[in-house]
Amino acid sequence: MASTAIATPLAPTAYSGEQSGVWSWLTTVDHKRIGTLYLFTALFFFMWGGVEALIIRAQLGAPNQHLVSAEFYNQLFTMHGTTMIFLAIMPLSAAFFNYLIPLQIGARDVAFPRLNAFSYWVYLFGGIFITVPILFAVAPDGGWFGYAPLTTRAYSPGINIDFWVIGLQILGVSSLAAAFNFLTTIINLRAPGMSLMRMPMFTWMSFVVQFLLVLAFPVITIALVFLLFDRFFGTNFYNTVDAGADPLLWQHLFWIFGHPEVYILILPAFGLVSEVIPANSKKPLFGYPVMVYSGILIAVLGFGVWAHHMFAVGMGPIADTFFSLATMLIGIPTGVKIFNWIATMAQGHVRLNTPMLFAIALVALFTIGGISGVMHSSPPADLQQTDTYFIVAHFHYVLFGGSIMGIFAGIYHYFPKMTGRMLDEKLGKIHFWLYFVGMNITFFPMHFAGMLGMPRRIYTYDAGQGWESYNFYSSIGSYIIGVATLVFAWNFLKSRRSGAIAGPNPWGAATLEWTIPSPPPDYNFAKIPTVTSRYPLWEGKEADLESARFNAQEGKTAADFGIVMPYNTIKPMIVAFGLVLMFCGLLTSRVIIFLGAGIMIVSLFTWLLSPLEPEHH
Amino acid sequence: MKGLDRLRRLSPFVLTAALAIIIGACSGSHPNTTFTPHSDLGRDIDALWDRLLLLGTIVFVLVEAALIFVIIRYRHRDSNERPPQTHGSTKLEILWTLIPAVILVFIAIPTVRTIFKTQANAPHGSLNIEVIGHQWWWEFKYPEYGITTANEVYVPTGRTVNFTLHSADVIHSFWAPQLGGKRDVVTNRTNFLWYTPDSSMETSVWNGFCAEYCGTSHANMKFRVFTVKPDEFVRWAGWQKTQAAFGAKTATATTAASSTPEMMTAAATTTGGPYIFPKEKIPAYTVPATPPPRGLTFTAGLTGNAGRGQQIFSTGACIGCHVIAGNPSAMGVLGPNLTHIGSRTTIAAGRYPNAAAYLALWIKNARVMKPGVLMPTLGLDEYDPILKTKVTTASGGLTDQQIADVVAYLTALK
């Protein structure tokens, strides 16, 4: 096997001297370090959102409980959704975009390294902005979907919704900046020979997701600007009393963003398992071109199905029919992906290590979410399902069973690349089985609760309604997930320091990121490889192996190869700080707005006037 | 690894046990189930559901079986060989593109048919009921009969009922799961939902819910649907049209109040034989079991005087929001119409039973009884959690005795 021929693993080398310490993290423009920052921050928010979920489940574990008030419960479920979607799953995907895309396409960094840092800092500050209010019980309480007119000033006079409207705007800036960055990177920085149809599947799915982000986020931005104007300046887009306002405008705009958002959340996970399954079956991905096309098709169709979230609003039979059929169509490319993953494993040498277990769990559990998805693509049937716990069960099978399982497959698979050390397999398997069992105990009973009449988003329910046992199981299951997450956290922190040495390619995988040392040097590739095949380490072409051997050299610095590295800079962080401060001013005083804008403009100016890297000689 | 192997061996048993628990749970009673519909719409939906469940289960079993088979069959430990490097198969991929497509056709055809059937205009001669969603209660109007009521809606079996849905504020969703699907109650719009409760159905009561998140007390925005025989409906409607039995006349009826509300009996007698829903036909699951909030108490042993209660009601804050037909000063329309409040089974949109003790606590401090409500806290020295002040005499606070009087009055309004 080609991969085993590569140099004996050395102990992971730390970043070079000037690249350590807090200051180096604040000023870094290295896509790998930014990816690491994304990973840590997003895992923190994942646990934060998890704690919110545990409080929710404690409240619902039995009927008529008073653990939290109605007001606080509404903040909890709003922030659980908002946190998991915008602060956990999307940035976890972004961690992989950052870390992997340049490595997979054979690039030294992303196209705009400083913009990349800016995206992270905006995400961090925006995340703090939207998270802190719950500590003071003034968190957003309009649901992650924020339906108008409930979220207008007339029905939500408090500061709560302001945090949500402004916070999502801030996070949108981060996502858009990052999306343009990755698009440019993938289009322009691919190594010679890396044609689009040679790109690893994760990069392909990421590529598709960046288009979704670029097309979907402007819609929510506009929807939020309207709401912001309604709330702060008395305009009348969604308010109800005056003629002309239409609350359904919000729903359409929100879901034109919101449905592609679902694919923004799931496609990166699809990409990750499309890396993990071939590596652990020792077989190329089955039907690579079809996997690419089905991903694109899912994304394109994803823009034409938004109103399936609105079958109960009374759009009329023609619209219902259209959106129903379009939604069913999406089932086809999704099904093809499932079958192709299974076919990849078939006749392979399937190795059931932790990443592979998580990847298989995605295939198994996403299938359940997909099937229940088809169930509510039928509008009449959806009239009994929408806004019940059946839907909660459905999208947790998609987002937990799909996105989270896929992301953890990715974490276990790529942790050795990021740190040079393996995660503990034993703890990993405990984590996996607790997740798998806990997840099903939590979310499967919700199907029953929903079909037996339990509405969503209720902070309490009466005894004797036939829901007690299902809710009790769900609550038990959620705490199993909670314990498992602690097992993972322990494994993650412990293995970073003392895990087994990984070497450049512990899984015997095929793509470019496995040709370089683990953790990769700051310059990634000593020599930009010339790619001649889709699986450079497997197809055994001499040119590919030659460049792999060269790039596997450990312990060298950029200077040894005469590689020019960009300067570290604090400016992106200050610009991000100014931006968020400016938004904070909307809630406090005009002085803060001008102060924030001033900081942003001045630091942006100096950023743009300072060179990215030393001059080339 | 030994522990892991043990875990692996144990896991089928754990899963079986979990499944057994779930199946065991299924055998309990499910008063709000969507699986035993009691209307034409409910049955149309259920027929679609049955097909979706059948096809879904087949797909689920086949996919998971294939996945498990592949994992077991092709599992390799510590192999250094690489398997044959296949890259795909056009035939297979076309096959598994077509299979889901064919399955979806079998779902799409009955779906589209049902969409057009159930979203046609309601048939001629339907009973029109206007539903108005409020934060957090339901108003029901029968234009045909000139009736306005709240949170409890009566429908005759065997006649199509056409709910015309409006919202007074934010978006709600009207849903009685046993009778049919839901429809959103959208601000600035009129929506319709119609179905025919089965004529074969016994006189009964069903739970209804608000299904669209609508703010603080979304969970407490419930209603009851009373399905009654056509002749019972006519009697009910005829009586609801009349003024409250207690009405404007000065009654001297008193109620014996005590700490146990059930002992408080309305003494007011009514004329003309009102249709009171038979108590024995009220199922347990429609009787709220929510305990009153801790810390909210009411003086034991008070006797309310309905006449005095009417006086207090008619000169106090109550009339600003509530209508009582027959009481000329009660004209406010912000809150539920109370004309026949004494005949209702629940208060606070289905959160508490309509018993004197609950009513007394409700008047005393509604905002503690149900978070976020517009109904002000009225009990003297009570803390209003929204205004964050104590209620004083100056701000119209009522003593427990005064509240008992009002309760006696309201209870008498059969």
- What is the DSSP annotation of B308-376? HHHHHHHHSGGGGT-B-TT-TT-B--SS---TTGGG-SEETTTTEES-HHHHHHHHHBHHHHSTT-SSP
Supply the pLDDT for residue A9. Answer: 46
| Average pLDDT along chain B | 87
Minimum-distance CB partner of A283 among B86, B100, B169: B86
Each domain of chain A, given as residue ranges in start order, spans: 3-20+28-230+247-544, 569-617
pLDDT (mean) for B24-35: 75
Report the topology of domain B254-268+291-412.
Immunoglobulin-like (2.60.40)
- For residue B123, give every residue at least 6 positions away whose Cβ sits within 8 Å of its Cβ, in sequence order, or none: B160, B194
Looking at residue B328, its pLDDT comes to 87
List the 442-461 stretch of A: residues with Cβ below 8 A of B: 444-445, 448, 451-461
Q: For residues B186-201, give the mean pLDDT.
A: 94
Average pLDDT, chain A: 93
Inter-residue contact B22 to A448 (CB < 8 Å): yes
User: Is-contact A398 A270, C-beta < 8 A?
Assistant: no
Q: Of residues B219 and A18, which shows the higher confidence score?
A: B219
Residue pLDDT, tens place only, A418-454: 999 999 999 999 999 999 999 999 999 999 999 999 9
Judged by DSSP in three states, A537 sits in coil
The rounded Cα A197 to chain-centroid distance in angstroms is 24
Whether residue A197 lies within 8 A of chain B, CB to CB, comes out as no
CB B189 within 8 A of CB A248: yes
Q: Can you give the pLDDT at residue B246?
A: 65
- Cβ atoms within 10 Å, residue A482: 17
Q: How far is B258 from chain A (nearest CA, A)?
A: 25
Contact at CB, B186 and A321, closer than 8 angstroms: no
Quick check: B164 and B132 in contact, CB under 8 A?
A: no
Contacts of B292 in chain A (CB under 8 A): none
| Range(s) of chain B covered by CATH 2.60.40.420 | 127-241, 254-268+291-412
Which of the four pLDDT bands, split at 50, 70 and 90, describes residue A247? confident
- For A357-374, how does the pLDDT look when each residue is reduced to its tens digit (9 = 90+)? 999 999 999 999 999 999
Q: Which residues of chain A from 494 to 533 reach within 8 Å of chain B, CB to CB?
A: none
Question: Looking at the partner chain, which of A380, A429, A462 has a beta carbon nearest the beta carbon of B118?
Answer: A380
Alpha-carbon distance of B255 to B264, in angstroms, equals: 6
Nearest CA in chain A to B67: A342
Q: Are B355 and B290 in contact (CB under 8 A)?
A: no
pLDDT tens-digit series, residues B50-98: 999 999 999 999 999 999 999 999 998 766 788 889 888 999 999 999 9
Angstrom distances, CA of residue B262 to CA of A596, B224, B256, B356, B366: 63, 21, 10, 7, 20
Higher pLDDT, A1 or A604: A604
- A216 in contact with B, Cβ within 8 Å: no
**Which residues have CB under 8 Å from A441's CB, separation 6+?**
A473, A474, A476, A477, A480, B18
Instruction: Give contacts of B285 with chain A, Cβ < 8 Å.
Output: 464-466
The complex scores an ipTM of 0.92
Beta-bridged to residue B193, according to DSSP, are: B163
pLDDT tops 50 at residue B255:
no
* Helix count and strand count (H, E) for chain B: 8, 16
The bridge status of strand B346-347 relative to strand B303-305 is: unpaired
Is the distance from CB of B391 to CB of B373 less than 8 angstroms?
no
Checking if the pLDDT of A332 tops 60, the result is yes
CB contact under 8 A, A459 and B219: yes
Is residue B230 within 8 A of residue B159, CB to CB? The reply is yes
Rounded to whole angstroms, the Cα distance separating B218 from A534 reads 54
8 A C-beta contact, residue A269 and residue A403: yes
A92/A85 Cα distance (integer angstroms): 10
Asked if B181's CB is within 8 angstroms of A349's CB, the reply is no
Measured distance CA(B265)–CA(B1) in Å, rounded? 71
* B interface test, pick of A330, A383, A389, A470 with most B CB neighbours within 10 Å: A383
Greatest alpha-carbon pair distance for chain A in Å reads: 79
Q: Give the bridge partners for B117, in sequence order.
A: none
Q: How far is residue A324's CA from residue A344's CA, in Å, rounded to a whole number?
A: 31
Is A350 in contact with B22 (Cβ distance < 8 A)? no
Residue B12 in tokens: 């089928």
* Architecture in CATH for domain A3-20+28-230+247-544: Up-down Bundle (1.20)
Question: Would you say how long chain B is, in residues?
Answer: 414
Fold of the domain spanning B127-241: Immunoglobulin-like (2.60.40)
Report the catalytic residues of A.
80, 109, 144, 174-175, 259, 261, 263, 274, 308-309, 334, 337, 456
Question: Which DSSP letter does residue B183 get?
Answer: E
Of B80, B81, B188, Cβ closest to residue A246: B188
Strands B352-353 and B346-347: antiparallel
